Amino acid sequence: MNAAQAPHLSHLSEGQGLVGRHPREVLLGAQAQTGFLPVCDHYSGVEARMRKSLQLQAEMTQEFGTCVFDVTLDCEDGAPVGAEAAHARLVAALACEAAPQARVAVRVHPVGHPAFANDMATIAGEAGQRLCHIMIPKVESIDDVLAAEQALLRAAAGHLPLHVLIESPQAVHRAFEIAAHPRVQSLSFGLMDFVSAHGGAIPASAMTSAGQFSHPLVLRAKLEIAAACHAYGKVPAHCVVTEFSDAAAMKAAATRAARELGYTRMWSIHPAQIRPILEAFAPTQDDVEHAAKIIAAAADGDWAPINFDGVLHDRASYRYYWQVLERAHRTGLPLPAAVQEWFTSPASSDAP
């Protein structure tokens, strides 16, 4: 069968029952529930900075027409020692005050920390309906995920997904098991704790924007986490770049994370890092135009195989090109008219 014959002969087997359905549903199925998040996750833990982060999110949502980064309010590094309960109440209040369209998350203390239970009861219990997810740091095994899930259920916040921070060699070893849990939506890599966990065997240079892409143990950990996420349709989130005043270093690191290591999301710890992350993770405009033409032609053919410019495409390649369009949308790029309808309909909502 040649490419010209493919659409006609396979129409019934490939496209039957798919006509009129949203491309996300046709091409991704269950992965559509977890596979797409804003490409930037911005962390802040001091009250003034948390408020500014939420304000900046609202401003950039208006600018781009979609929410291009999550705001994660931080309890682990943000709460003053001895004032963890008060900080949890503050974080819950800020989440409840956020604009309806805001994407707000919280990083709580680790499962083994004395403040963990109160964090979850207060934050998930009081602000669970306003949160897009909860980040659990220093997860070592699936048991920590199960403990966090139980805490969510006790707080009547069973709808919330969990994001997990992988920060040790043992956790990297168990990344696939952790990523497989249905409650887990994303795995992040904690660079500095991972390096410290090696007792000086990894040099401090591996924590820099350049060194973290060259040390073999660090690079192996990043690849393992990305592979675990993609194996289960979850989102791999790349670690921070601490040189927040160096925009060039930030963009270079983000570009390598996206193009070489398979990451689809990255942490920001300073407002100046957000736009370089968006730029690095965005597809090119040529890629967007090409993807839009293929997806529009595929939809016209009821998702059966097509001959496009002499190349055979089917649902395997459609899935790839649809993901290009999703990433373009989540980085604020303009979309061609032929595909805009799928990103303005109710089915395209960015709500968690």
Task: Write down the pLDDT at residue 26.
Answer: 87
How many CA atoms lie within 13 Å of 115's alpha carbon, on the beta-carbon side?
A: 23
Residue 273 sits in the same domain as residue 321: no
Three-class SS state of 233: coil
DSSP line for 75-114? STTTSPTT-HHHHHHHHHHHHHHS-TT--EEEE---TTST
- Please give the pLDDT value at position 11: 33
Per the CB < 8 A criterion, the answer to whether 218 and 203 are in contact is no
* Cα separation, 239 vs 213, whole angstroms: 11
* Amino acid at the residue 156: A
Residues 6 or more apart whose Cβ sits within 8 Å of residue 235: 34, 35, 36, 37, 185, 186, 187, 229, 264, 265
Same domain? For 44 and 175 the reply is yes
Q: Residue 233 — left, alpha, or beta (φ > 0 → left; ψ -120 to 50 → alpha)?
A: left
Is there a contact between 86 and 47 (Cβ–Cβ < 8 Å)?
no
Examine the domain organization and report whether 168 and 207 are in the same domain: yes
Number of folded domains that form the chain: 2
**Phi-psi category of residue 224: left, alpha or beta, with phi > 0 → left and psi -120 to 50 → alpha:** alpha
Say yes or no: 321 and 264 in one domain. no
Check whether residue 264 and residue 243 sit in a common domain. yes
CA–CA gap between residue 96 and residue 100 (Å, rounded): 9
- Confidence at residue 1, expressed as pLDDT on a 0 to 100 scale: 32
Query: Is residue 14 situated within a structural domain?
Result: no
Structural domain ending residue among the three candidates 231, 261, 281: 281
pLDDT per residue, tens digit, the chain (352 aa), is 333 333 333 333 344 455 568 888 888 875 555 557 999 999 999 999 999 999 999 999 999 988 999 999 999 999 999 999 999 999 999 999 999 889 999 999 999 999 999 999 999 999 999 999 999 999 999 999 999 999 999 999 999 999 999 999 999 999 999 999 999 999 999 999 999 999 999 999 999 998 999 999 999 999 999 999 999 999 999 999 988 888 888 999 999 999 999 999 999 999 999 999 999 999 999 999 999 999 999 999 999 999 999 999 999 999 999 999 999 998 989 999 999 999 885 445 444 4
Query: Do 297 and 280 touch, CB atoms closer than 8 A?
Result: no
304-337 confidence digits (pLDDT tens) = 999 999 999 999 999 999 999 999 998 989 999 9
Domain assignment present for 135: yes
Contacts of 45 (CB under 8 A, 6+ apart): 73, 74, 75, 76, 77, 78, 79
Query: In this structure, are residues 6 and 312 in contact, taking their beta carbons and an 8 Å threshold?
Result: yes
Q: Looking at residue 32, what is its pLDDT?
A: 55
Does any domain span residue 293?
yes
pLDDT of residue 177: 98
The rounded distance, in Å, linking the Cα atoms of 209 and 159 is: 36
Question: In this structure, is residue 90 part of a structural domain?
Answer: yes
- pLDDT tens digits, one per residue of 273-282: 999 999 999 9
Structure tokens at 290: 């090409």
Other Cβ atoms less than 10 A from the Cβ of 91: the count is 28
Tokens of 70: 């999550």
Range of the structural domain that residue 98 is part of? 40-281
* Beta-sheet pairing, 311-313 with 40-44: unpaired
189 shares a domain with 203: yes
Tokens 């999110």 belong to which residue?
A: 57
Asked, for residue 243, whether it belongs to a domain, the answer is yes
Tell me how far apart the terminal alpha carbons of the chain are, to the nearest angstrom: 43
Residue where a domain terminates, one of 233, 252, 281: 281
Q: Is residue 7 part of a domain?
A: no
pTM attached to this predicted model: 0.87
| Same-domain check for residues 160 and 270 | yes
